[in-house]
Structure 1
Amino acid sequence: MKRIFTLLSSLALVAFCAAAAFAGTLEDKVVVYSTHGESMLEAVADAFEAKTGVAVEFINLKGELADRVRAEKANPQSDVMYGAPSSVYQELKAEDLFQPFTPTWAAEVDPLFKDKDGYWIGTIQTPVLMFYNTEMLSAADAPKDWKDLADPKYKDMLVFRNALSSSARATYTALLQQYEKRGEMDKGWTYLKAVDANTKRYYGSGSLQFQAVGRKEAAISFAVLNSIVDNQIKNKMPLETIDAASGSPVITDAIAVIKGAKHPEAAKAFVEFAGSAEVQALLARKFNRMPTLPDALDEAPAWMAKIKFKIMDVDWGALASKQSAWMQKWDTEVKDSAKDKK
């Protein structure tokens, strides 16, 4: 496995207390299932191994993570679940798949970003914003709110991720919940079908989604904020975010110890380490991930404090039991339904 040794100096003293607290009791390895990218996972794994001597085996499962953890309930093959939205964690908590654990830094995390019973805790807050290619649309012509995506004037101007993307799942269901609150679920499904009618293509890959917008195959999409910023800065894409009038969903990417983990002490040590302020700050600087810890946010890139957006009112706990069924319906009855009629 390729390692990013240049980051080790930045983390030389990270989580010393965490390592010491588990000294002499840690197993020789920890297995981590995640939705995070390999370069970020390697950065955290390298530093954890350097500090504790515990080998980290990680598997990037993207949208298949929850199903994998479920399938292994009787005989868990992982010790830690790292990444994916809090709604997924709440769903799996209800299925008795996590072991409660409270890291030392948990008290500093806003209740919005953690489970009240200690079964999971957020390490990254992830806003999902609409954006557009400024070489294809002016600010005046761009959507002002999510409801505008259903306007026929945007026909074939939209590209999105499919439901395998955890951020897309969270966004589609958050939008549906706004209709459910008003007792208008039928209108919610009608809205999503209208958006589908305007959608040129769904992608299983975030990089392909951004490439399509960058090549001007479509003008409008939505994505997690850090990915938008990455493509603005690193790939010089002419992108502009949209502060939706009704707010944008803010996903909490979390971490948890798997119930029945074969390496439980190493799992707890990894959770303690991965969510520490030092690691959160490093991930903010190196990977544009927005921290949940205030101390880490103080050390984050300036844009995180400067960018302004309204937060959508989403009850993630209520979504936990509905997300899978709603997304199954979206996948079978909404996605590409307009194309089926052509």
Structure 2
Amino acid sequence: MLAVALAGLSLLAAGCGGGDKKQPGEAGGQSLKGKKLVMYVSFHEDTAKELSELFQTKTGADVSFIRLPTGEALARIKAEKDAPKADIWLGGTADAHAKAAADGLLEAYKSPNAKMILPEYQDKDGFWYGTYLEVMAIGYNEKRFKEEFAPKGVKAPESLQDLLNPEFKGEIIMPDPRKSGTGNTFISSILQQMGEEKGWAYLKALKPQVAQFTPSGFTPGQKTGAGEYLICLNFISDQTLVSNKGQKIHSTI
């Protein structure tokens, strides 16, 4: 099992950092009325919409957002370093925010609510704050497995080694680690669990089994739930969202 901290808030250098700087708490009431706030968001669009509307209601700010996978958001922020187009980066894995901070792309912010978050889930210098812990999981479409694979005596894919079964070649979908924080997290977890040598050997064996690498971490769950693929590798919350809509995915962590 791998738990990963998902970062909650990063201020883009020269974005929110520009203009008059307010002290913590000054953004309450309608103090931001008429101000425009642009966010890059690296989680579900529905959640981003709810948060944007709530913040707009509470502060009066005109909030808009662009949904981007973690890797794409980081690349875009880097490309816009000298002329930022967004103020805040919300969501994405903590390692990506740490990389952005190290590259001088973010501005630190000491939140008055930081005391509510354990020290290990926030940056000590205030460059990012965790919002929740996530877990990588192996998921498979229950209906397809029962109808197509179980009758042949195939073991359900519930371990990393199970994914190498020739029966599953072309039936696996996962996020592209070059673009998706979820995909990058999967690669990192394998190397942490198995070590460099065995980990890379495993990933080399797994790659031919995978039919599609997606830019988004959520897409594998969607396509597996729809029956396009049997197996998905992504965060368990994404698989649960799909299952809750009636497309049952069996998840193993």
TM-score by length of 1: 0.58
Structure with the higher helix share, 1 or 2: 1
- 1:49 & 1:222 partners in 2: Cα distance? 35
Q: Determine which of 196, 209, 214 is the counterpart of 1:203.
A: 214
Q: Determine which of 189, 206, 231 is the counterpart of 1:220.
A: 231
Name the aligned partner's letter for residue 196 of structure 1.
K
Pair 1:123 & 2:131 matched: yes
- 1:21 & 1:214 partners in 2: Cα distance? 41
Alignment partner, residue 71 of structure 1: 79
Shift of 1:191: 0.9
- 1:34 & 1:178 partners in 2: Cα distance? 29
- 2:158 & 2:237 partners in 1: Cα distance? 20
Name the aligned partner's letter for residue 31 of structure 1.
V
Alignment partner, residue 154 of structure 1: 168
Q: Deviations over 1:267-299 (max 9, x none)?
A: xxxxxxxxxxxxxxxxxxxxxxxxxxxxxxxxx
Asked if the contact 1:133/1:240 (under 8 Å) is kept, the reply is yes
Instruction: Label 1:116 to 1:145 Cα distance change in 2 as closer, same or farther (>3 A).
Output: farther
Instruction: Label 1:208 to 1:174 Cα distance change in 2 as closer, same or farther (>3 A).
Output: closer
Pair 1:239 & 2:249 matched: yes
- 2:105 & 2:217 partners in 1: Cα distance? 28
- 1:116 & 1:205 partners in 2: Cα distance? 29
Pair 1:30 & 2:31 matched: no
Q: 1:1-342 counterparts in 2 under 5 A?
A: 18=25, 24=31, 28-62=35-69, 63-135=71-143, 136=145, 141-163=155-177, 164-180=179-195, 185-205=196-216, 209-234=220-245, 236-243=246-253
Instruction: Label 1:120 to 1:204 Cα distance change in 2 as closer, same or farther (>3 A).
Output: closer
Unaligned runs of 5+ in 2: 1-23
- 2:41 & 2:172 partners in 1: Cα distance? 29
Shift of 1:228: 1.1
Shift of 1:20: 5.8
Name the aligned partner's letter for residue 67 of structure 2.
N
- 2:223 & 2:31 partners in 1: Cα distance? 51
TM-score by length of 2: 0.76
Aligned length: 222
Alignment partner, residue 10 of structure 2: none
Alignment partner, residue 310 of structure 1: none
Structure with the higher strand share, 1 or 2: 2
- 1:87 & 1:216 partners in 2: Cα distance? 32
